[in-house]
Chains A and B, each alone.
Chain A
């Protein structure tokens, strides 16, 4: 049903991140690029339509999908059971990442417990904020977007920034972030899910098939290399599994 709508409209509206290098971010010209926009483009090509990127953030991405502002969401979303009640997350998972922090090496953090009672920057709406505050006793200072959180970290408003390890790895290689490291053990390594609206069975199946073909062809590994990320164990494993 939706597939036909998309075909007749000639446009596939995909919710992607615009502040999450290298998964979805803006290039100097302002266009949204990255691994997830590339994946979205694959889907549009398969449907034979144009792709339109709608920038979303963690706290509104599911609502955008529910309200039909987007047809498909590929926005670094961790696959969680309560989220499956709200949107239709497609199996198998297309990616995976865990939680870690970006912090100055001079603090010498070794354990998550070292963050206790210290201000730690975060992103509003991220699920690991609660865990970092509740279990490790950090004082979360959460901002709307990553740009503000990175600025606050640099400005010393917090001693660390709790975020997805996949994004932090990219930062630690950035010369602008010299002296910063990803010191802790990654926790909560969890799969990411792309999602369609609940009840869109046909589109769901098409996406499921698409994800398998991405894993099979090594497309994910290829995009990781293209955007400067080391191949993750998850992507390598999935590629082997579907080979």
Chain B
């Protein structure tokens, strides 16, 4: 393996193509940590944003007026503001208002760090879109199907989870795919609040080594690869869920 890494050092000396995240063990370590951080951040945000979408769409049809208004307000706020502004807002504004905890060195630190805020903020951001996407799927389920379920004595929750949602899923998957792909790409914004994800580490590496071009190309390929895996998985899921003659 060492000779493999060494080869990139020779490549640099001979051609000037500088890939320190391969031959320098320190840069390699931080690039890899950044890669893991991006994956961790993406998975958590994907998970929570879908949960938020599911619950939000359920609450949107609530018989209680104020619940519906609350969900509506949430969607408007998170959909109509830029995610970078939201990140800064949570990290610097909300974070400063929360109680502080002991940092173990005789000082105080905020309750939540950059990573926690990135997960919260990006999940709510993508979640707002997901609520609308789930709604589009739910509204596509024929009213007669829901009425038939009601006639059979299903409760509102049962109808949502056993009848409406499974059918709605099939309709809305393409739209959901789009939003989740966007979400993975949006995780790069977390570098603004110093979450050490891929772009953050790449930025530090290109500043230390002045190899902006190489790092930019690498970043493009890395995200292409990451998002490619997600799209491939989602497409497979879409095919697996297909019901002949429906949708």
Contact A104 B107 (CB under 8 A): yes
Contact A157 B203 (CB under 8 A): no
Where chain B touches its partner, the secondary structure class is: helix
Question: Cβ of B208 < 8 Å from any Cβ of A?
Answer: yes
Q: Mark B86-129, 1 if CB is under 8 A from A, else 0.
A: 00000010011000100101111110011000000000000000
CB of B50 to closest CB in A, whole Å: 29
Contact A152 B194 (CB under 8 A): yes
Contact A159 B207 (CB under 8 A): no
In the assembled complex, the Cα of A118 lies from the Cα of B209 at a distance in Å of 25
Question: Cβ of A2 < 8 Å from any Cβ of B?
Answer: no
Known contacts A82-B209, A124-B203, A143-B194; A151/B92 CB under 8 A: yes
In the assembled complex, the Cα of A134 lies from the Cα of B107 at a distance in Å of 24
Q: List 14 A-B contacts (CB under 8 A).
A: A107-B106, A124-B207, A125-B203, A127-B208, A129-B208, A130-B204, A130-B208, A141-B114, A142-B204, A143-B192, A144-B192, A148-B192, A156-B110, A157-B110
Q: Mark B190-201, 1 if CB is under 8 A from A, else 0.
A: 011110000010
Q: Which of B92, B106, B210 contacts A86 (CB 8 A)?
A: B210
Q: Which residues of A contact B200 (CB under 8 A)?
A: 124, 142
A-B contact count (CB 8 A): 70
Question: Cβ of B47 < 8 Å from any Cβ of A?
Answer: no
Q: Which residues of B contact A119 (CB under 8 A)?
A: 109
Question: Cβ of B212 < 8 Å from any Cβ of A?
Answer: yes
Q: Which residues of B contact A86 (CB under 8 A)?
A: 210
Q: Look across to chain A and name the residue whose beta carbon is closest to the beta carbon of B16.
A: A85
A interface, CB within 8 angstroms of B? 58-59, 62-63, 82-83, 85-86, 104, 106-107, 118-119, 121, 124-127, 129-130, 134, 141-144, 148, 151-152, 155-157, 159
CB of B107 to closest CB in A, whole Å: 6
**Chain B residues with a Cβ closer than 8 Å to the other chain, count:** 27
In the assembled complex, the Cα of A129 lies from the Cα of B204 at a distance in Å of 8
Q: Which of A62, A63, A85, A107 contacts B107 (CB 8 A)?
A: A107
Q: Look across to chain B and name the residue whose beta carbon is closest to the beta carbon of A103.
A: B107
In B180-238, the 8 Å CB interface with A consists of: 191-194, 200, 203-204, 206-210, 212
Other A-B pairs, 11, CB within 8 Å; known A124-B200, A143-B192, A157-B113: A58-B207, A63-B212, A85-B210, A125-B203, A127-B208, A142-B194, A142-B204, A143-B193, A152-B92, A155-B95, A157-B114
Contact B204 A125 (CB under 8 A): yes
CB of B203 to closest CB in A, whole Å: 5
Contact B26 A134 (CB under 8 A): yes
